Each structure stands twice: as C-alpha cells, then as structure tokens.
C-alpha cells in the first residue's frame, strides 16, 4: 500500500452557482470515491478547505517570521479540498480520482513516509 | 554481431523485466544490468562465452542487486529483511525465454515505461532504453537533443515511476486497450523523431527509428491489438524507403524522385500482408486505430505503385478525406490538398487550402508549388519565399530555393 494525497482544485464559485441537480452530482461523485477507496485501500482523512482568499502563509525572512495574506501559489484554480488515502499504486489512485466530480482537477501526490530521525521509510 | 551484442539487442527488455519482477527496483536493475554487460565485455572471449549468455547476465546482475540491497539495509541500520526475502525467492536457472511468465513480465515493463502519467517524450525515451536496450547516446541522437538532456529526461521518468508508484502490472481488460494505445503513441513518437529533419542527413537516425518499429512489434506480439498492428504497418512502409530517401550527395530525395529499386521490398511485402490480415478482422477498436489504419492505407498505395505515375492519387485523396473526419488537423488537410492536386489538378488542391492556418514552412511551400503548377508564377514565388524564410532545415530550404529559382526572376 502507498499513501497518496489527492489535492482537489476547482474554480471558485463553482459550487455556489451549481444547480440542485449539479450539487447532487458532486455528492454522488464523493460517495463513489469513498466506496472505491474503502474497497481498494483506506481513507485516512479528507476535507474541504475554506477559500484560498482566507489563507495565511508563514515564511521566515532574515530570521524573522513574515506573514502574508493569501496562498503561496496564485493561480486560477485553487486547492479547495483534499483526501489522504492509502491505495496500492498510482493506477488505482488515478481510478479513484476519476470518480470525483468532473469539474475538479485532482493532483495526485505520493506521500513520503519519514521515520523519527527524518529518514525516508521504504 | 557478438553473442553479447546479440543478447543485449534481442533480450534486454526480457532481462530488465525478469529482474524487475523479482526486485521492483528500477534504479538498481538498470545499473546492475549495465555493470553486468560491462563485465561481460571485459571477460567474454570467442573461446569463453557462456552457454547461456542471457542467464549469465541475469545471474551477475542479480548478485549486484543483492549487494546493493544489503549495503542499503546496513546504511539504514535495519535488519536486512528485504534482502533475505529477496534471496528466499530465487529464480536461479530460469531460462530467459521460458514462455508466458516472462512474456507477462515483459508486457508489464512495456506498459510501465509507456504509462500515461509520464510525459510522452520521457515515456518514449524510457521505452527505448529499458525495453529495447538502446544507449542513452543513441536515444539522444534519435531525438536530436544533447546526451545530458536525454540522460536527465530518462532519469526523471524513472524517478517518477518510483516516487509516484507507477505499477509494474497489467491492467484489467477494460483498461488494457487504452494503455496499448499509449504504447503505440509512444513508439510512433520515437519513430517520427528519427525522420524529423535534422541539421543534415544522418543515416544512423533512420536505423534508430527502426527500433521504434521493433518496440511496437514486441508489444503487438505480447498482446495482439489492431492499433499496434496498423502502426507497425505504417512505420514499416515508411521505413522501407530509408535508403532511397537520401541521394548520393546526402540531399533529401522526394518520394516521386526516389529509386524504387532501393526500397526494402521484403519489408513492404510483410507489411502489406499484416495490413490485409488486420483489415480482415473487426472494425478498428479506437480512433487511434482508425487513424493509423488510414495512414497505413495511404502508405500502402505509395508502396504498391511501381512508378510514381502509377500512384492512385484518387484513392489517396479519398483516404485523406476520411482521415480528416477521424482526426482533423491542418497537416492532414495539407496532405489531402496535395493528393487532390495530383488527382484533379492544382486548382482543386489550392481550393482546399483556402483559410487553412498552420505554423511552419510546409503550408506556404505546398501552396507555392501548387500555384506554380497552376501558372500563377508571381504568387508562387511569393509563397515559396515565405516558406524559405520559415524553413530552418538546410536540405529542405535548398530544395525550396531551387524550386523558386526555376520560376524565373
């Protein structure tokens, strides 16, 4: 089993402007995803995120902490949610991501597991 | 060819697949096999070549991999569980060509290298490296990039396979067709790279393009599929003209001017037989298969014409008209216009170019040629001049300049 983080991007306002029928489509997509992941692996967590316009980015510059309002990467698509899952391989992760609502762009990232001393495991 | 060259050329992909099936470590497998080949190069002589060269290489590579795994386990201060486990699953004495088990491993390797999550050019290069055993230098030459660029591209593709968890696996029947289409596309990308105009004629690049045919052929033998079959036909027919494409002075020779006696007619016959066999089967399974089929039929028309004058341009024009419906693009439209011009006259061809937009020198070159044939000398010269200014290939530019100068001042 490998651990993947699925970052979900969608255009802001897509949900707000969706019709009741379209919203049902979103709900069905997530339900199908959940069932598939349960069958082939397991879901560790997953959640929608508050808008990127409410994000705060923390950096250090010249030894001082600097806060900026907003996400660290500006783009049209914003990360609006995530799933943290365990699945056998990338093919299965792609299959799972394909079940999510088609309005999303889903970025699949392999999670690197580290031991207590910071060494990569496996 | 020495026994070592033969085994590298013909068995490389099987050896990689066999070791990958056991160790699942693409980084270690490739290095270890490379080192085993280097050792063989230094120690095998005519008198002392192993009875089973492939088996020798696998055994030598396996030992190196186990050494590396042990060293890694020591470095990580872990019990060498992984190593022990690998050692408990020995495949000693396995014949490299022992049938379906290894065939499945080879198919897994082919599908892994041509995975849709990899960038197409990376997948293409990786397939030539791992399945066909081509050197990075040769692959760089094929794709016309510096060797360091190609090495980085291959390394990046391998890194992604490991980091992203691209599986060494055969997908289910509902997904395999789509994946074989990617394999076909990957092979065709390598093939067309070999025929892309370079800085000068490079016969070796044409030979390297032949490796792409072998790649598609390997995949087709493992899992017969119409997309791959039509592609093998298409590439074989184009490749059969390689010796006639270059004149004695190194200049490019156009199809109509080629010495057809220098075409590889044995290859043409084999390709036409495969085309007939595949075409008698079910209708093409995918848009890609339809597209390769139509292009293969066009190539077959050219290959079957004893002289340029015998070419059935009417049939070729109809094939391009269908191809334009299957996969519309300006390039297909231009090819169709050329065929229509041959069949029905330059004016009919020119009419098809109205409103076509395509970057590069090819569109004004074709338009200039057709205008010249239609007798519009002034417009023809203007189009050819435009084409010359856009052409970055010496050989083609010289041809265009010659054509323009024939039209007078």
β-strand partners of A42: A86
Residue A116 lies in a domain: no
Q: Which residues of A touch B (CB under 8 A)?
A: 2, 4, 88-91, 93-94, 108, 110, 119
Instruction: Select the residue from A90, A95, A115 to test the B interface by mutation, using most B Cβ atoms within 10 A.
Output: A90
Mean pLDDT, range B381-408, rounded to an integer? 88
Each residue of B134-175: pLDDT tens digit? 999 999 999 989 999 999 999 999 999 999 999 999 998 888
Whether B82 and B107 map to the same domain: the answer is no
Residue A115 lies in a domain: no
The minimal CB distance from B169 to the residues A4, A91, A93 is found for: A91
Nearest residue to B221 (alpha-carbon basis) of B57, B33, B30, B13: B13
Domain boundary among B182, B204, B226: B204
Specify the pLDDT at position B94. Answer: 43
Cα angle for residues A6, A12, A17 (degrees, 5° grid):
115
- Buried-state track B234-260, b at ≥16 Cβ within 10 A, e below 16: bbbbbbbbbebbbeeeebbbeeeebee
Query: B169: which chain A residues are within 8 Å (Cβ-Cβ)?
Result: 89, 91
pLDDT tier for residue B103 given thresholds of 50, 70 and 90: confident
Q: End-to-end alpha-carbon separation of chain A, Å?
A: 11
Number of domains in chain A: 1
Owning domain of residue A67: 2-110
Domain boundary among B170, B204, B238: B204
- Buried-state track A53-83, b at ≥16 Cβ within 10 A, e below 16: eeeeeeeeeeeeeeeeeebeeeeeebbbbbb
Give DSSP secondary structure letters for B299-352: HHHHHH-SSGGG--HHHHHHHHHHHHHHS--HHHHHHHHHHHHHHH-HHHHHHH
What is the ipTM score, two decimals?
Answer: 0.85
Q: Is the pLDDT of residue B250 over 80?
A: no
Specify the pLDDT at position B276. Answer: 97
Query: B163: which chain A residues are within 8 Å (Cβ-Cβ)?
Result: 110
Q: Is the pLDDT of residue B189 over 90?
A: yes
Owning domain of residue B33: 1-98
Each residue of A4-57: pLDDT tens digit? 999 999 887 788 888 999 999 999 999 999 999 999 999 999 999 988 888 898
Number of domains in chain B: 3
Specify the pLDDT at position B47. Answer: 76
Averaged pLDDT score across all residues of chain A? 90
Domain boundary among B204, B231, B259: B204
Query: A4: which chain B residues are within 8 Å (Cβ-Cβ)?
Result: 165
B355: left (phi over 0), alpha (psi -120 to 50) or beta: left
Q: How close, in Å, is residue B287 to chain A by CA atoms?
A: 22
Mean pLDDT, range B330-344, rounded to an integer? 96
**Chain A residue with the nearest C-alpha to that of B161:** A90
Instruction: Record the pTM.
Output: 0.87
Mean pLDDT, range B2-17, rounded to an integer? 92
Query: B171: which chain A residues are within 8 Å (Cβ-Cβ)?
Result: 91
Q: Is the pLDDT of residue B249 over 90?
A: no
What number of other Cβ atoms are within 10 A of residue B401's Cβ? 15
Q: How close, in Å, is residue A53 to chain B by CA atoms?
A: 30
Residue B403 lies in a domain: yes
Each residue of B350-387: pLDDT tens digit? 999 999 999 989 999 999 999 999 999 999 999 999 99
Averaged pLDDT score across all residues of chain B? 90
Distance (Å, rounded) from C-alpha A99 to C-alpha A31? Answer: 9
Contact B106, B222 (CB under 8 A): yes
Residue A57 lies in a domain: yes
Specify the pLDDT at position B95. Answer: 45
| Token pair for B352 | 């098809």
Specify the pLDDT at position A10. Answer: 84
Mean pLDDT, range B50-63, rounded to an integer? 93
The minimal CB distance from A91 to the residues B76, B163, B167 is found for: B167
**Chain B residue with the nearest C-alpha to that of A95:** B175
Report the range of poorest mean pLDDT among A59-73, B180-194, B291-305.
A59-73
Whether B106 and B175 map to the same domain: the answer is yes
Specify the pLDDT at position B91. Answer: 47
Q: Do A90 and B76 touch (CB under 8 A)?
A: no
Q: Give Cβ neighbours of residue B400 (< 8 Å, ≥ 6 apart).
A: B361, B365, B368, B384, B387, B388, B391
Residue A122 lies in a domain: no
Residue A62 lies in a domain: yes
Specify the pLDDT at position A15. Answer: 81
Q: Which residues of B touch A (CB under 8 A)?
A: 76, 115, 117, 163-167, 169, 171
Distance (Å, rounded) from C-alpha B393 to C-alpha B196? Answer: 10
Specify the pLDDT at position B200. Answer: 60
Specify the pLDDT at position B86. Answer: 52
Whether B105 and B198 map to the same domain: the answer is yes
Instruction: Select the residue from A2, A4, A87, A91 to test the B interface by mutation, using most B Cβ atoms within 10 A.
Output: A91
């Amino acid at each position: 089993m490998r651990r993947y983080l699925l970052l979900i991007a969608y255009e802001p306002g897509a949900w707000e402007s969706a019709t009741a029928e379209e919203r049902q489509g979103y709900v069905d997509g997530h339900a199908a995803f959940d069932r598939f992941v349960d069958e082939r692996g397991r879901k560790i967590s997953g959640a929608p995120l508050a808008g990127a316009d409410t994000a705060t980015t923390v950096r250090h510059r010249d030894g001082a902490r600097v806060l900026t309002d907003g996400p660290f990467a500006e783009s049209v698509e914003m990360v609006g949610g995530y799933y943290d899952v365990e699945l056998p391989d990338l093919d299965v992760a792609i299959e799972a991501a394909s079940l999510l609502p088609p309005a999303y762009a889903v970025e699949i990232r392999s999670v690197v597991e580290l031991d207590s001393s910071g060494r990569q495991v496996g | 060819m020495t026994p070592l060259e033969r085994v590298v050329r013909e068995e490389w992909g099987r050896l990689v697949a066999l070791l990958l099936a056991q160790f699942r470590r693409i980084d270690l497998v490739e290095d270890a096999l490379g080192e085993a080949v280097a050792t063989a190069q230094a120690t095998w002589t005519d008198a002392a070549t192993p009875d089973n060269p492939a088996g020798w290489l696998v055994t030598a590579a396996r030992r190196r991999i186990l050494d590396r795994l042990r060293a890694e386990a020591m470095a990580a201060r872990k019990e060498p569980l992984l190593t022990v486990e690998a050692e408990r699953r020995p495949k000693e004495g396995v014949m490299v060509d022992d049938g379906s088990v290894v065939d499945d491993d080879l198919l897994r390797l082919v599908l892994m290298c041509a995975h849709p999550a990899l960038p197409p050019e990376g997948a293409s290069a990786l397939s030539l490296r791992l399945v066909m055993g081509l050197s990075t230098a040769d692959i760089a030459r094929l794709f016309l990039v510096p060797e360091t660029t190609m090495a980085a591209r291959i390394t990046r593709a391998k890194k992604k396979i490991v980091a992203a968890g691209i599986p060494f696996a055969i997908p289910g029947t509902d997904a395999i067709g789509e994946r074989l289409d990617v394999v076909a596309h990957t092979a065709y990308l390598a093939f067309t790279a070999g025929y892309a105009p370079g800085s000068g004629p490079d016969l070796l690049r044409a030979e390297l393009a032949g490796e792409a045919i072998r790649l598609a052929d390997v995949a087709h033998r493992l899992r017969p599929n119409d997309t791959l079959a039509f592609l093998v036909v298409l590439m074989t027919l184009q490749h059969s003209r390689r010796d006639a494409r270059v004149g004695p002075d190194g200049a490019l020779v156009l199809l109509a001017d080629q010495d057809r006696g220098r075409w590889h007619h044995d290859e043409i016959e084999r390709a036409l037989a495969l085309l007939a066999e595949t075409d008698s089967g079910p209708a093409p399974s995918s848009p890609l298969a339809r597209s390769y089929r139509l292009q293969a039929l066009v190539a077959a028309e050219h290959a079957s014409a004893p002289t340029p004058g015998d070419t059935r341009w009417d049939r070729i024009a109809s094939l391009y008209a269908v191809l334009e419906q299957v996969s519309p693009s300006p390039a297909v439209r231009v090819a169709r216009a050329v065929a229509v011009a041959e069949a029905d006259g330059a004016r009919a061809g020119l009419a098809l170019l109205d409103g076509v937009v395509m970057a590069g020198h090819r569109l004004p070159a074709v338009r200039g040629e057709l205008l010249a044939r239609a007798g519009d000398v002034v417009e023809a010269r203007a189009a050819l001049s435009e084409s010359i200014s856009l052409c970055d290939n010496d050989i083609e530019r010289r041809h265009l300049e010659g054509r323009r100068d024939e039209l007078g001042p």
